[in-house]
Amino acid sequence: TSPVVVAIDGPSGSGKSSVSKAVAARLGLAYLDTGAMYRAATVWSMETADLDDAASVATAVRAMPLVMGLDPAAPGVELDGRDVAVTIRTTEVTTAVSKVASNLDVRAELKRLQREIIDQESSAADAVFSGGRGIVAEGRDITTVVAPDADVRVLLTASEEARLRRRSLEVHGAADATAVDATRDQVLRRDRDDAKVTQFHVAADGVATVDSSDLDFEQTVDAVLAVVAQAE
Ligand code: C5P
């Protein structure tokens, strides 16, 4: 069978990370979390550059010693040999990431790295994880900019209410009114900032939409697998 590249985009709280991991695991593909790369770039910039100086951030990110683990069962992020999987999810990093992600030189560099990883995993000779079977890559601009020629392209959406509920459960371990309110500002502000540089609310031409608002996790995974099956 020929290698398959599956591109999945969506806003925060759409469930795209957990769904993408499950899809990759089911299909025996590598998994690339591009959001984790922007988060790692943010950590690295906080440590080695001035966040308010776009040129210094771009220079830092070009020299960033980043290694992405591609196993969907245990995706890793290493910066200079350090495991930063926990650091990249802190509130401090989540709050700063959109600023780093809006730096066009940073985007160009990460796009280059992402394409390199996608090409590598879809080549039997160079694959690190999947043996060349392919990869599921998820983020905000994978279906449109990073891999517009992917075999399968999916936009995973969900209503604002469903997204806030999921994010609230993730961050606060609860989805009562108080917890949802605490999540709302952060989620909506980040989506608004991200939407200035990436387009992930409307499916581009040829991109399948999966709306997970009324689906549970397994149903969402099945819906994405059905899109993949259709393409084969
Ligand atoms: O998906 P996640 O919430 O981890 O993404 C973190 C941030 O990385 C997003 O808020 C966005 O600013 C940025 N991002 C991006 N393009 C991608 C993936 C993530 O700009 N393809």
**Residues linked to residue 211 through DSSP beta bridges, in sequence order:** 157
**Residue 232 pLDDT:** 82
Q: How far apart are CA 187 and CA 115, in angstroms?
A: 28
Hey, whose CA ends up nearest to atom 16 of ligand 1?
A: 140
Average per-residue pLDDT in the chain? Answer: 96
Alpha-carbon span 2 to 117, nearest angstrom: 17
Task: Indicate if ligand 1 lies below 6 Å from the C-beta of 38.
Answer: yes
- Judge if the beta carbon of residue 101 lies within 6 A of ligand 1: yes
132 is in an annotated binding site: no
* % the chain with pLDDT above 90: 91
Whose CA is closest to atom 2 on ligand 1? 35
Q: What is the pTM of this model?
A: 0.96
Q: Compute, in angstroms, the gap from residue 158 CA to the centroid of ligand 1.
A: 17
Consult the annotation and say whether 212 binds a ligand: no
Asked whether 144 lines ligand 1 (CB < 6 A), one says no
Ligand 1: atom nearest CA of 190 is 10
pLDDT of residue 1: 74
In 94-218, beta strands by DSSP E: 134-139, 152-157, 208-211
Residue 69's SS3 state is: coil
Give the separation between CA 34 and CA 36, rounded to whole angstroms: 5
Nearest CA to ligand 1 atom 7: 35
Is the ipTM of this structure higher than 0.90? yes
- At 97, the amino acid letter reads V
The tens digit of pLDDT for each residue in 191-224 reads 999 999 999 989 999 999 999 999 999 999 999 9
Strand ranges inside the chain, DSSP E: 4-9, 30-33, 66-68, 77-79, 82-83, 134-139, 152-157, 208-211
14 close to ligand 1 (CB < 6 Angstrom): no
The protein residue whose alpha carbon is closest to atom 4 in ligand 1 is 35
Q: What percentage of residues in the chain have a pLDDT greater than 70?
A: 100
The answer to the question of whether 15 is labelled as a binding residue is: yes
pLDDT, tens digit, 9 for 90 and up, residues 144-193: 999 999 999 999 999 999 999 999 998 889 989 998 998 998 899 999 99
| Cβ pair 42, 193 in contact under 8 A | no
The encoded tokens of residue 167 equal 């994010």
